[in-house]
Amino acid sequence: MSQETSQWLNEMILVGFTEKRGYAWHYRTELQGDESNHYPGAIPVEDVERRLFNFNVDSRPVYVMTAAGEYMEVPNRQAMVTSDSEDVLGIFKEGYQGHSYSEWLLENIGTILDDDLGIGSAGLLKNRAQAFVSVEIPDSIDTPEGVTFRPNLLGATSFDGSLATIYKKVVTQTVCDNTMNIALAENGESYKLKHTRYSGMKIADAREALAIIHTMSDEFTADVARLCSMKVSQAAYQTLLDTLVPIPSDDGRGKTVAENKQTDITALYKSDARCAPWTGTAYGVLAAFNTWNTHVASVRKGTPRYIRNQENVLSGKMEKADALVLETLAAIA
């Protein structure tokens, strides 16, 4: 059963800058308790430490019970265990090195970035086996084409083997909370570190790889202008749709699913406020597919959509989906 219930999202996910972008979709007044998880401005670092990263994850030996009922230590294995509740988050070989949430997601990000940025969101996922922190500029940015966005640096790590420690440049469109990567036609920039004993963050390298977050606004603005200038005819759009969402010739569930997906994407592209203002351009096409993936695509039972979207961004799945749309469109054009 997923740990990310509505109660979990209202306690273990902190949301900042609500004066600029409003409340998160999962906000429930009755689940807030004595202290709201929403902040009108930046989330104080102290609150992230106190409310989320207020425990350690320690390495413990692993034992198994023998046939005689005695315990035997398993060689070359260690368990990552929470210091407060004794939850086992993961079991690894001896060479695994956990990355502390406080050090790797607060201290290191603070060292990479300058002082006029603030924490826009922070959270714990998967029974605290994953954690993330997003750092943003205070104000949203408007492009001449009418796109409003917020550049941010997303840092995440895990103690269950699901994530390397990653720092990734992403952009959130405030009108629909979609996330796109900088340099949309290329791979989004990121800085990854494996959980090994010899992993160490070289701050100079990270700064060089990610640059300063303020440069992201110029990069994304240029991307939007370029994509909005690329005209897409109705015929090209339909060819793209048929290529990425082919409809099987045989009747059955597969055909129905594909037809419904085509219908939903087209409705977003032509009628939805998150996409329709840019219909007839490459940006409008990308926005339609990205919005469908973010807000319409089916979600595995027991996994909240917010968590699925976060995982897709961190794993690079969303990035690959965006890139496929643009690559296919370029081939057709």
CB atoms within 10 A of CB 25: 11
CA angle 102, 211, 46 (to 5 degrees): 25
Stated length of the chain: 333
Whole-number Å distance between alpha carbons of 213 and 225: 20
Whole-number Å distance between alpha carbons of 77 and 91: 7
**What averages of pLDDT result for each successive group of 10 residues across the chain (333 residues)?**
72 90 84 92 93 96 94 96 96 93 87 75 92 84 87 88 85 64 51 71 61 72 92 97 94 91 97 94 94 88 75 81 92 87
The pTM for the full model equals: 0.79
